[in-house]
Amino acid sequence: MRHRRSWDRYRERHSFWLSGMTRGLARRMLIWILAISAVMAVMATSVQLFADYRRDVSDLEHAMRYIEENQLPGLADAAWNFNAAGLRVQLDGIGHSPWVAGATVRYGPNQSAELTTGVIDLDAREVIEFPLRRNVGTNAVVVGRISIAPNLRDLYGRTINRIAVVLSTQAVKSLVISISILFLTSGMITRHLTQMAEFAKSFEPSKDFTPFTLRRDPRTPHDELTVLADGLNDAYRRLYTAHEFEVDHNERLSEEVALRTAELRQAHQALAKIAITDRLTGLLNRLGLEEAFASEIARAERYGNPMTVILTDIDKFKSVNDSHGHQVGDTVLQEFAAILVREARGTDVVGRWGGEEFIILCPETDVEAASLVAERMRASVAAHAFSVVGGKTSSFGIAAFHGGDTETALVKRADDALYRAKEGGRNRVDREDGVRPVSGPA
């Protein structure tokens, strides 16, 4: 039975270690460790291979200097004496050098005679050429030339072999180190973090609080993980205590939120109304009219119903401000707006376009019916006695909606009609089609 319990404890601890190693953090740590080890291995390999390559190149250069200093004089004597056998022996000796792939000697008159050992391409860039000089008296005479092809193939082969060996060694070393570090990290940190994460996931305020304990030897000295576990337990206790406070206050907060939401909704509605209302006249302002335009144009396009726009303003309004001041001018605008609203139909939309200009949108109304509305408004304005200034007149321009019209195009045609009404003597109604209803003085 004792052995069975020991085996169960071992299996539990083994599975816990493995679960810690297969977590996302452990995998990422392994990847990072392998990446850093690979970079370090490549750097170390590069330095070592560069040093080895420089040593091989230095040995090659030393071999070429040895041939130049010790073997070329003998070749020069043999070439001076036309000793082909001696040239062959010395040339083969040079060819047996591990640093030489091949060599060619040219000698004789015009260097027409030639001997070759090994494999050499005289046109290759790597070929090294030395003159064969023989001292005749006090002069040095060139009696031939030797071309030597360095054995770069073996040089490169040794370098590649070293690369394979060093990289293999470094790869194995990096893998062993990475796995060792991973095991240490998993056993000392990752598996305990996983345990803490599982403990945090199991938090339910309604359950009794059970402090978190690390699954390790109780004799382990206190460290950062102990501090983290104590902090987790402290946070759990505070959350458990705060839960009761939260439950007690949730209902009160819900009532408060509902009350504030209703107030905000009312305030939003009030602000929305203020945003589209002209403060002076209480009518729709430019923003409100643009929204009405968009809605009515969309409806006219969808159902093919007629729609008409009336643009109007007070004739010679500037003289009111100049003669009586802006307060009187504001009063005149308020009275003018009231007349327009009074004479408009229930479906018409009346708003202040800007300054002394007002727009009346007439949905499902053709230009003939809109002309009657405008004429009625014009007559009411002409018959009204405005405060302080007395009688004033107004002019009206009418434009009907055509398929594809935009707000800008529609208002532009109404504005052109209003301009013709002004040019025609004011106190009159003009339509975009040039047909003018019977109105005030021409």
pLDDT at position 425 is: 92
Residues 418, 369 share a domain: yes
CA torsion sign, 386 to 389 to 391 to 395?
negative
**Residue 348 and residue 312: Cα distance in Å, rounded?**
14
User: Are residues 26 and 173 both part of a single domain?
Assistant: yes
Q: Is 439 a domain residue?
A: no
Q: Which of the listed residues 275, 298, 315 is the one where a domain comes to its end?
A: 275
Chosen domain end from 275, 300, 316 = 275
Catalytic sites, residue numbers? 356
CB of 129 within 8 A of CB of 106?
no
Averaged over successive runs of 10 residues, the pLDDT of the chain (442 residues) comes to 60 55 61 75 76 80 81 80 81 83 82 81 81 79 83 78 77 74 66 69 68 70 72 72 73 80 78 86 93 94 94 94 93 96 95 93 95 96 94 96 92 95 94 67 42
Q: Are 430 and 396 in contact (CB under 8 A)?
A: yes
Same domain, 177 and 208: no
Residue 196 in domain: no
3-state secondary structure 332-374: HHHHHHHHHHHHCCCCCEEEEEECCEEEEEEECCCHHHHHHHH
Domain that holds residue 74: 1-191
Residues 164 and 217 in one domain: no
315 belongs to a structural domain: yes
Is residue 436 situated within a structural domain? Answer: no
pLDDT score of 442: 37
Residue 58: CB atoms within 10 A of its CB come to 10
- On whether both 174 and 246 belong to a single domain, the answer is no
Strand ranges (DSSP E) for 70-177? 100-107, 113-118, 128-136, 139-150
Spatial distance between the Cα atoms of 133 and 145, rounded to a whole number of angstroms = 9
Q: Are 271 and 290 within one domain?
A: no
CB 203 within 8 A of CB 239: yes
Residue 440 lies in a domain: no
CATH number at residue 402: 3.30.70.270
- pLDDT at residue 246, rounded to an integer: 75
219 part of a folded domain: yes
Q: Are residues 112 and 147 in the same domain?
A: yes
Q: Is 217 exposed, middle or buried (CB count within 10 Å of its CB: 0-12, 13-18, 19+)?
A: exposed
Q: Provide φ and ψ at 381, rounded to 5°.
A: -65, -45
- CA distances in angstroms from 89 to 107, 361, 386, listed in the order given: 15, 117, 134
In terms of domains, do 131 and 218 share one? no
What pLDDT does 151 receive?
77
Q: Are 283 and 337 in contact (CB under 8 A)?
A: yes
> Which of 146, 165, 191 is the endpoint of a domain?
191
Q: What is the pTM of this model?
A: 0.44
- Same domain for 329 and 400, yes or no, is yes
How far is the C-alpha of 338 from the C-alpha of 394, rounded, in Å? Answer: 14
- Are residues 326 and 399 part of one domain? yes
| 252 lies in the same domain as 292 | no
Verify that 50 and 102 share a domain, yes or no.
Answer: yes
If you ran DSSP here, which 8-state letter would residue 96 be given?
T
| Separation CA 206–CA 176 (nearest Å) | 48
Q: Specify the number of domains making up the chain.
A: 3
Spatial neighbors of 97 by CB under 8 A, at least 6 apart, are 63, 67, 151
Distance CA 380, CA 378 (A): 6
Euclidean distance between CA atoms 281 and 314, whole angstroms: 14
- Phi, psi values for residue 12, rounded to 5°: -65, -45
According to DSSP H, which parts of 112-208 are helical? 152-185, 191-201
